[in-house]
Amino acid sequence: MGLLKNISDNTNPDSLAVRMRRRRFEFFLKLLSPLKEPVRIIDIGGTEQFWEQMGLAGTESVEITAVNLTPFEPRYPNVHSVIGNGCDLRELFQDNQFDVVFSNSVIEHVPNLAGQQKMAAEMMRLAPRYFVQTPNYYFPLEPHFLVPGFQWMPEALQVYLLMHFNLGWAGKHSDRQTAVNTARSVKLLRRRELSGLFPGCQIYCEKALGLNKSFVAYGGWDLTAAQ
């Protein structure tokens, strides 16, 4: 489990997870390149650390608004922290108030289809362009609990494992209801489900070991820039 955590550690700049994020981000930067600066980006569920790792925190090329359920204190002048629920931001932001919606491994934490549909609709309302990444349901290693096939197990087995083992980023649970809530807190998406949330989108496939590890739904871009 320690090895898997090191591979998946998003705070370690040398981890496999961060290296894959950088590769994916290179594609995002190609899409971003034709836009007039500073590009106004709203990051649903984002962190300042991510933009620092990717080299855009503290630059004048982008203005980043990170929306989370809990705030953080930004250290860079082009990063702003806003408290909000990504499923409904109508009281905070107008239609197309931003140039780009960005989201990285967040939509799967909305644990039901109706909520995911609301979040996707809100993302498409906030900007004419979006770039939304999420892990693939069919990739063998579940990325949150770091247990092969965890997402395919019956809930009772998931709860048992959560109560008896220290799993991934969730840890070991002593309370059964807490374990149930944790098991239900993630709903990984299949490719067709992601496409259904963002009608007309393109899908970028991120591969590991020859398999689709995650997907990015993107739309509204000048695709000639990414050639």
Arithmetic mean of pLDDT, 114-125: 98
> To the nearest whole percent, how much of the chain has pLDDT over 90?
84
Return the exposure string of 32-47: e unless at least 16 CB atoms fall within 10 Å of the residue's CB, then b.
beebeeebbbbbbbbb
Q: Are the C-beta atoms of 93 and 70 separated by less than 8 Å?
A: no
Return the exposure string of 113-127: e unless at least 16 CB atoms fall within 10 Å of the residue's CB, then b.
eebbebbbebbbebb
pTM beyond cutoff 0.85:
yes
Phi and psi at residue 191, to the nearest 5°: -60, -45
Which pLDDT does position 20 carry in this prediction? 72
Q: Which CATH number fits domain 10-141+187-220: 3.40.50.300, 2.40.30.110, 3.30.2130.10, 3.40.50.150?
A: 3.40.50.150
Q: Please confirm whether the linkage preceding 13 is cis (ω < 30° from 0).
A: no
Which pLDDT does position 7 carry in this prediction? 47
Token digits of residue 208: 């590991």
Location of each CATH 3.40.50.150 domain in the chain: 10-141+187-220
pLDDT band for position 89 (50/70/90)? very high
